[in-house]
Amino acid sequence: MKKNLSTDEAIERWNEHAEAFTAGYTEEGDRSRRILLNPAIFSLLGHVEGTEILDAGCGEGYLSRLLERKGAHVTAVDYSTEMLKLAEAKAPESSGIHYHHGNCENLNFLDDRMFDTIVSNMVIQDLEDHTAALRECFRLLKEGGTLIFSILHPCFITPGSGWIRDGRGKKEAWRVSGYFLEGVYEQAFPEEAENKVVFYHRSLTTYMTAIREVGFEIDEMVEPRPSDELVGEDPEYREDLIHPNFLVFKLRKGKRGISWCPGL
């Protein structure tokens, strides 16, 4: 575990590894995004044509581009200057996406109640202050607006998680360990780098408490899994049925949703 690593320091690592991290991206992102995250996010989004959407933590911009193709008016923010350079370079000349450099923990250059929807895809676990980021999203949404955010699944992607293998190296089971050891940890990428990218591990209770304190209500939660069709076509995808890697929330501002009751 890394102690007292700020978002500013974490973002420097993303700047260092931005090109390598996104080198294998298609126009629909990497494998996890194409197979798991994108279907979940777009099923929760529904109709987006003509709506004002903020891509909070846009990275190299693939999701912003997909949203614009579906007719949304897109504003995109990222704290990594190198990721923003990639996003702007990949945007078509006709694009109307508005890109901004900014930390999702403090987006004070954007006005209150600007957006119908905010999407934050695999970002909040990369921020030191997740509550501040949720609070900013709440401020920026119109009444009745929705926040959809995805994170590493806090119950299964933990400081001590990983595959258990047999003597031949075959994957047998997924190990979960260190669930309550909240803090900032290095990820596996890049393998040989001295400064790997990091994530801030938090328990599900910690996330749920922040959601409630900010004022959001939960509409839905999704643990993305590959479709039955994909599993039938390629046995490789059966591995994704062993445990969920991701958790996607759909939160609403100002409309009665699913209440969270402490102790459940």
pLDDT category of residue 142 using cuts at 50, 70 and 90: very high
- Could you give all domains of the chain from N- to C-terminal order, each with its CATH number? 7-252 (3.40.50.150)
* Among candidate residues 90, 148, 87, 89, the one with its CA nearest the CA of residue 117: 148
Lowest mean pLDDT segment, chosen from 1-15, 109-123, 153-167, 220-234: 1-15
In this prediction, residues 29-53 reach a mean pLDDT of 97
The span from the CA of 205 to the CA of 123, in Å, is: 18
pLDDT category of residue 1 using cuts at 50, 70 and 90: low
pLDDT category of residue 238 using cuts at 50, 70 and 90: confident
Q: Tell me the pLDDT tens digit for each residue of 69-106.
A: 999 999 999 999 999 999 999 999 999 999 999 999 99
The span from the CA of 86 to the CA of 37, in Å, is: 21
pLDDT at 259: 44
Q: Tell me the pLDDT tens digit for each residue of 18-27.
A: 999 999 999 9
Which neighbouring-strand residues pair with 151?
A: 247
Query: For the chain, percent helix, then strand, then coil, each to nearest 5?
Result: 35, 25, 40
In this prediction, residues 51-73 reach a mean pLDDT of 98
In this prediction, residues 194-223 reach a mean pLDDT of 96
